[in-house]
C-alpha cells in the first residue's frame, strides 16, 4: 500500500506530546512491513527545514496554490517525510499550537483546517508537482479532522482513516472561520453536522466523515462511547461503533532500549539489571537530589491537570515526608509550573523539576527512577508507562484508558508489572504509592516485578498489522460507497 500519513507532530523534530512519537514509530513500522509511507507534516519552525541528518533532500513541489509548497526528505527507500510550508505555519516560534509564551495561536484551528483542504485539493488535481497519490489517507487527531470531509467533498475517492489520539482536544472554530473555509452551511448543526455546542469541531468532522476510525487503545475505545468519557461525542461514536477500532500504540523499541541507549551512563537489561544503579546515581547527581533508601519517583509529561499533575502536586509533601525523592520533567500550564517550582524550593534536595521538553532527561528518568508516576485523569493510551516498564521502572498509575491495557497490578495478579489505583484522588494515589513502596522494600519481589516489566513486548509489529487491516476496511468501504453512488448516478437502462 501507499500510505499518506498526515500529522502535526513528528519526533524528534516537532514534538509536544505522544502524537509525535507515534507518528514517527508507527510510520517506520508500516514501512518495515513493506508499505510505501509518506509522512506529511506542516513545518512550523523558524529556520529552514530541520537537519534530519539523513540522506540528501529529495523532491519538492507545490500544493495547487503557489504559497503552499513541500519538500521531501527520504528516510529510507520506503519512508519519506514531506515537509509542507504554507501561510501561517513556517516561521512561527513556540509549538505548532501555541506561541513561545504558551498562548494558543489565535488562528490555530482554521490554519490546520485550511491545510487539510489544500492538501486534499492537491490530491484531487494531481499535477506534476503533487505528492504521489496514496491508496489511503490517514489523518491524526483534531488538526487533520477535516481531511475526510474534503476528501469526499472534492471527489477524490480516496479512502480515509482518522485516528483519535485525545478526545479532550476538539479543535473548535467559529462561524467566521467556517464560512472562510467554504464549508457547506448544512454542516452548521449538531446532527448530521459538525457542531459541538456553539462551535464547529474539526475532531467531530473527522469522526463523522472518515471511512474508518481508530483510537489508541481498546479500553479508551470503550470509554469514549460512554457519556462520561465521550466529551459530548458519545452518541456519534456509538453510531460509528462498527467502524471504530481501539489499536494499542506501540513504542520504538530501538530508541527505548536500556541495553543500548546512548543517552544512559551504563546499559542494563532484564536478567542483567546492575547498570540501573549507576543510572539512579547519575539522576540523583544531575538533579542535585539527596540519596535515599526510599523510592525515587519520576514523572515525564505535559504539566496539565489532564495528566493528574494537580493530584501529584498535592501528594508531594507526604511522599517527601516518607523519604521519597521526586523528579518531574515537562512543560505545561504556567500556574501548574509555578506551583511545582514552589514545591521544589520548599523541598530542596528532595524534589526536582525541569520545565522543558528534553529527550535526554526523559531517558535518564526512565532508567534512574525506581518508580514512575502516572496519575492521569484520563489517558487515551500513554506511552511513558511503556517506556518506564521497558526500563525496569514500574508505574504507579490511575486505572483509565490505555493504562489499564498496558499495566497489570502486582498486588492483584501474579504476573503484575506495576500498581493501579481506581479513583482520581490524592488519597488513592498515596495508598497506591504505599503499596508500591512495600514491594520496593522487598528486593526479591521487586526484582521479579522489574524483570517481568522489562520482558514485556510493546513493539509495533503486531499493532502495525492491525492498522493494515483497518486500512483494508477503509479501502473496501470507500470502494463500495463510490460504486454505489456511481450506480445511482448512472442513467437507467430502458429494459
Ligand atoms: C495523546 C494522548 C496519549 C497518547 C498519545 C499518542 O497525547 O493523550 O494518551 O498516548 O496521544 O497516541
Which of 229, 227, 184, 228 has the alpha carbon at shortest distance from 208?
Answer: 184
Query: Which atom of ligand 1 sits closest to the CA of residue 380?
Result: 9
pLDDT at 492 over 60: no
pLDDT at 484 over 90: no
Which of 207, 187, 185 has the alpha carbon at shortest distance from 195?
Answer: 187
Distance in angstroms (rounded) separating the CA atoms of residues 425 and 432: 11
Ligand 1, pocket-test mutation among 22, 217, 381, 403, most atoms within 8 A of CB:
381
Task: Give the pLDDT confidence score for residue 94 in this predicted structure.
Answer: 86
Ligand 1 center–CA 18 separation, angstroms: 5
Query: Which atom of ligand 1 sits closest to the CA of residue 17?
Result: 7
Return the CATH fold of 274-454: Rossmann fold (3.40.50)
Per cent of the chain over pLDDT 70 is 98
Task: Give the pLDDT confidence score for residue 107 in this predicted structure.
Answer: 94
Does 62 or 173 have the greater pLDDT score? 173
Ligand 1 center–CA 465 separation, angstroms: 20
**Banded model confidence at residue 130, pLDDT cuts 50, 70, 90:** confident
CA 260 to chain centre: 24
Ligand 1 center–CA 430 separation, angstroms: 25
Ligand 1 center–CA 25 separation, angstroms: 13
Which residue is closest in CA terms to ligand 1's atom 10?
382
Looking at every residue in the chain, the average pLDDT score rounds to 94
> How many degrees, rounded to 5, is the angle at CA 463 between CA 222 and CA 237?
25
Which residue is closest in CA terms to ligand 1's atom 3?
382
pLDDT at 494 over 70: no
Cβ-based neighbour number of residue 198 at 10 Å: 8
Ligand 1, pocket-test mutation among 5, 16, 17, most atoms within 8 A of CB:
17
Task: Give the pLDDT confidence score for residue 491 in this predicted structure.
Answer: 59
Task: Give the pLDDT confidence score for residue 493 in this predicted structure.
Answer: 47
pLDDT at 469 over 50: yes
Ligand 1 center–CA 126 separation, angstroms: 33
**How confident is the model over 250-277, as a mean pLDDT?**
96
Task: Give the pLDDT confidence score for residue 490 in this predicted structure.
Answer: 64
Which residue bears the cell 513486548? Answer: 457
Ligand 1 center–CA 383 separation, angstroms: 7
**How confident is the model over 369-390, as a mean pLDDT?**
98
Each residue's pLDDT tens digit, 443-462? 999 999 999 999 999 999 88
**How confident is the model over 58-85, as a mean pLDDT?**
90
Helices 426-440 and 309-321: crossing angle, nearest 10°?
50
Each residue's pLDDT tens digit, 92-125? 888 999 998 888 999 999 999 999 999 999 999 8
pLDDT at 486 over 80: no
**How confident is the model over 428-436, as a mean pLDDT?**
98
- The binding-site residues of ligand 1, defined as CB within 6 angstroms of any ligand atom, are 17-19, 22, 165-166, 216, 249, 379-383
- 3-state class of 17 per DSSP? coil
Each residue's pLDDT tens digit, 328-362? 999 988 888 999 999 889 999 999 999 998 999 99
Ligand 1 center–CA 484 separation, angstroms: 36
Q: What is the pTM of this model?
A: 0.94
Cα dist from 154 to 13, 158, 356, 378, whole Å: 32, 10, 42, 36
Ligand 1 center–CA 295 separation, angstroms: 27
Which residue is closest in CA terms to ligand 1's atom 7?
18
Q: Which helix (H) or strand (E) holds 434?
A: helix 426-440
Return the CATH fold of 2-250+462-484: Rossmann fold (3.40.50)
Ligand 1 center–CA 218 separation, angstroms: 13
Per cent of the chain over pLDDT 90 is 84
Question: Strand 65-74 vs strand 60-63: parallel, antiparallel, or unpaired?
Answer: antiparallel
**How confident is the model over 37-48, as a mean pLDDT?**
88
Which residue bears the cell 462551535? Answer: 199
Which of 221, 211, 219 has the alpha carbon at shortest distance from 243?
Answer: 211
In the chain, list all ranges with CATH 3.40.50.2000. 2-250+462-484, 274-454
**How confident is the model over 195-201, as a mean pLDDT?**
98
Distance in angstroms (rounded) separating the CA atoms of residues 352 and 350: 7
Which residue is closest in CA terms to ligand 1's atom 5?
18
Cβ-based neighbour number of residue 110 at 10 Å: 20
Distance in angstroms (rounded) separating the CA atoms of residues 9 and 397: 26
**How confident is the model over 135-144, as a mean pLDDT?**
98
Amino acid at each position: 500500500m501507499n500510505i499518506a500519513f498526515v500529522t502535526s507532530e513528528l519526533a524528534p523534530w516537532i514534538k509536544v506530546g505522544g502524537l509525535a512519537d507515534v507518528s514517527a514509530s508507527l510510520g517506520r513500522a508500516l514501512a518495515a512491513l513493506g508499505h510505501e509511507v509518506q509522512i506529511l507534516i506542516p513545518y512550523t519552525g523558524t529556520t529552514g527545514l530541520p537537519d534530519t541528518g539523513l540522506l540528501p533532500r529529495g523532491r519538492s513541489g507545490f500544493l495547487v496554490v503557489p504559497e503552499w509548497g513541500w519538500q521531501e526528505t527520504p528516510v529510507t527507500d520506503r519512508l519519506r517525510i514531506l515537509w509542507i510550508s504554507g501561510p501561517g505555519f513556517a516561521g512561527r516560534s513556540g509549538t505548532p499550537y501555541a506561541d513561545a509564551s504558551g498562548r494558543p495561536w489565535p488562528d490555530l484551528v482554521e490554519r490546520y483546517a485550511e491545510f487539510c483542504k489544500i492538501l486534499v485539493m492537491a490530491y484531487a488535481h494531481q499535477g506534476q508537482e503533487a505528492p504521489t497519490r496514496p491508496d489511503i489517507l490517514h489523518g491524526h487527531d483534531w488538526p487533520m479532522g477535516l481531511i475526510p470531509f474534503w476528501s469526499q467533498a472534492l471527489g477524490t475517492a480516496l479512502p480515509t482513516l482518522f485516528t483519535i489520539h485525545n478526545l479532550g482536544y476538539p479543535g473548535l472554530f467559529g462561524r467566521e472561520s467556517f464560512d472562510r473555509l467554504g464549508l457547506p452551511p448544512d454542516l452548521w448543526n449538531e446532527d448530521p453536522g459538525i457542531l459541538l455546542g456553539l462551535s464547529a469541531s474539526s475532531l467531530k468532522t473527522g469522526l463523522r466523515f472518515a471511512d474508518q476510525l481508530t483510537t489508541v487503545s481498546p479500553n479508551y475505545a470503550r470509554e469514549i462511547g460512554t457519556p462520561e468519557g465521550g466529551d459530548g461525542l458519545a452518541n456519534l461514536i456509538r453510531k460509528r461503533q462498527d467502524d471504530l477500532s481501539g489499536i494499542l500504540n506501540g513504542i520504538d523499541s530501538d530508541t527505548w532500549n536500556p541495553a543500548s541507549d546512548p543517552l544512559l551512563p551504563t546499559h542494563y537489561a532484564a536478567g542483567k539489571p546492575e547498570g540501573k544503579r549507576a543510572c539512579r546515581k547519575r539522576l540523583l547527581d544531575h538533579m542535585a537530589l539527596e540519596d535515599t533508601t526510599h523510592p525515587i519517583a519520576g514523572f515525564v509529561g505535559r504539566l496539565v491537570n489532564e495528566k493528574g499533575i494537580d493530584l501529584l502536586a498535592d501528594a508531594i509533601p507526604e511522599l517527601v515526608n516518607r523519604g521519597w525523592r521526586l523528579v518531574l520533567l515537562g512543560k505545561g500550564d504556567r500556574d501548574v509550573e509555578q506551583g511545582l517550582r514552589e514545591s521544589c524550593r520548599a523541598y530542596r534536595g528532595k524534589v526536582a523539576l525541569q520545565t522543558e521538553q528534553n529527550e535526554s532527561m526523559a531517558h535518564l528518568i526512565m532508567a534512574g527512577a525506581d518508580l514512575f508516576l502516572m496519575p492521569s485523569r484520563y489517558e487515551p493510551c500513554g506511552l511513558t508507562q511503556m517506556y518506564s516498564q521497558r526500563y525496569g521502572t514500574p508505574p504507579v498509575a490511575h486505572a483509565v484508558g490505555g493504562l489499564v491495557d498496558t499495566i497489570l497490578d502486582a498486588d492483584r495478579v501474579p504476573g503484575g508489572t506495576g500498581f493501579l489505583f481506581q479513583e482520581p484522588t490524592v488519597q488513592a494515589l498515596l495508598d497506591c504509592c504505599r503499596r508500591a513502596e512495600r514491594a520496593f522494600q522487598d528486593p526479591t519481589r521487586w526484582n521479579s516485578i522489574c524483570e517481568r516489566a522489562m520482558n514485556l513486548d510493546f513493539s509495533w509489529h503486531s499493532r502495525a498489522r492491525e492498522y493494515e487491516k483497518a486500512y483494508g476496511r477503509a479501502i473496501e468501504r470507500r470502494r463500495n460507497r463510490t460504486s454505489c453512488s456511481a450506480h445511482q448516478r448512472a442513467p437507467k437502462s430502458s429494459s
